[in-house]
Amino acid sequence: MKRTDDDRATDGGTKPAADGGTGDVFAFEATEDVTTVQRYREFLHEAVYLPAREAWRDWRMKVGLFLIAGYLAMGLIAWISGSSFGIWEGVTIIEQPTSNQFGGFEYNNQPPFQSMEYPLGTDSTGRDILGGIVHATPDMLKMTFAGGVYVVVVATVVGTVAGYKGGRVDSVLTTISDVVMTIPGLPLVIVVATMIDPRNPWIIGPLLVVGWWAGLARTIRAQVLSIREHSYVEASRTMGITTPRIIQKDILPNLMPYIMVNFVMSARQVIFNGVGLYFLGILAHGSYSDNWGVMMQFAYTHASALLVPERAYQLLIPMAVIVGLSFGLILFSQGTDRLFNPRVRHRGSGETEEEGDDQVTTTIT
Partner 1 sequence: MNWFIKRIGQGLFTVFAVATLTFVLVRTMPGSPSQRLASQIREQQPNMSTQEINAMVAQRIGVDPDRPLHEAYIEYMVNLAQGNLGESINYQEPVFDIIARALPWTAFVMTISLLFVFVMGLGLGAVMAYREGSRFDVGSSLIAIFLSSVPYYVAAVILIYVLAIELSAFPLSGRYPSDVEPGFTLAFVGGALYHAVLPAASFVITSWGGFALGMRGNSIQVLGQDYIRVAKLRGLTDRRIALRYVGRNAVLPMWTSFLITIGFMFGSSIILEEIFSYRGIGYYMFDSIDNRDYPVMMGTFLVITICVIVAVLIADMTYGKIDPRVEAGGDNEAY
Pick between residue 126 and residue 139 the one whose CB is nearest to partner 1. 139
Candidate ranges 21-29, 127-135, 254-262, 270-278; the one touching partner 1 (CB under 8 A): 270-278
User: First and final CA of the chain: distance in angstroms?
Assistant: 40
Task: Write the DSSP assignment of 204-261 as a string of letters.
Answer: HHHHHTTTTHHHHHHHHHHHHHHHTTSHHHHHHHHTT--HHHHIIIIIHHHHHHHHHH
Q: Does 83 bind partner 1 (CB under 8 A)?
A: no
Q: Does 182 bind partner 1 (CB under 8 A)?
A: yes
Q: Does 260 bind partner 1 (CB under 8 A)?
A: no
Report the site for partner 1 in 99-118 (rule: CB under 8 A). Answer: none
Pick between residue 177 and residue 236 the one whose CB is nearest to partner 1. 177
Report the site for partner 1 in 44-63 (rule: CB under 8 A). Answer: 60
Candidate ranges 99-107, 111-119, 123-131, 276-284; the one touching partner 1 (CB under 8 A): 276-284
Return the number of other C-beta atoms located less than 10 Å from residue 208's C-beta: 31
Query: Which residues, including other chains, have CB under 8 Å from residue 207's CB and lie 6 or more apart?
Result: 189, 192, 193, 198
Pick between residue 279 and residue 288 the one whose CB is nearest to partner 1. 279
Taking the mean position of all CA atoms in its chain, how far away is CA 257? 13
Cβ atoms 333, 264 nearer than 8 A: yes
Q: Does 268 bind partner 1 (CB under 8 A)?
A: yes
Q: How far is the CB of 287 from partner 1 (least distance, A)?
A: 20
Report the site for partner 1 in 157-176 (rule: CB under 8 A). Answer: 175
Burial degree of 42 (CB within 10 A; 0-12, 13-18, 19+): exposed
Give the one residue of 124, 219, 254, 287 binding partner 1; rule: CB under 8 A: 219
Pick between residue 125 and residue 334 the one whose CB is nearest to partner 1. 334
Q: Dmax of the chain from CA atoms?
A: 88
Binding mask 303-322 for partner 1 (x = CB under 8 A): ---xx-x--x--x---x--x
Provide the residue type at 230 as one letter. H
Cβ atoms 190, 277 nearer than 8 A: yes
Give the one residue of 179, 203, 235, 256 binding partner 1; rule: CB under 8 A: 179
Q: Does 25 bind partner 1 (CB under 8 A)?
A: no
C-alpha span between 181 and 175 (Å, rounded): 10
Please give the torsion angle defined by the CA atoms of residues 267, 270, 271 and 272, in that order, rounded to the nearest 10 degrees. Answer: 120
Q: How far is the CB of 153 from partner 1 (least distance, A)?
A: 19
Give the one residue of 127, 135, 218, 311 binding partner 1; rule: CB under 8 A: 218
Backbone φ, ψ for residue 199 (5° rounding): -120, -30
| Geometric angle at alpha carbon 271, from 267 and 272, rounded to 5° | 115
Report the site for partner 1 in 326-365 (rule: CB under 8 A). Answer: 326-327, 329-331, 334, 354-359, 361-365
Taking the mean position of all CA atoms in its chain, how far away is CA 303? 34
Write out the residues near partner 1 by the rule CB under 8 A. 60, 175, 178-179, 181-188, 190-192, 194-196, 215, 218-219, 222, 225, 268, 271-272, 275-276, 279-280, 282, 296, 300, 306-307, 309, 312, 315, 319, 322-323, 326-327, 329-331, 334, 354-359, 361-365
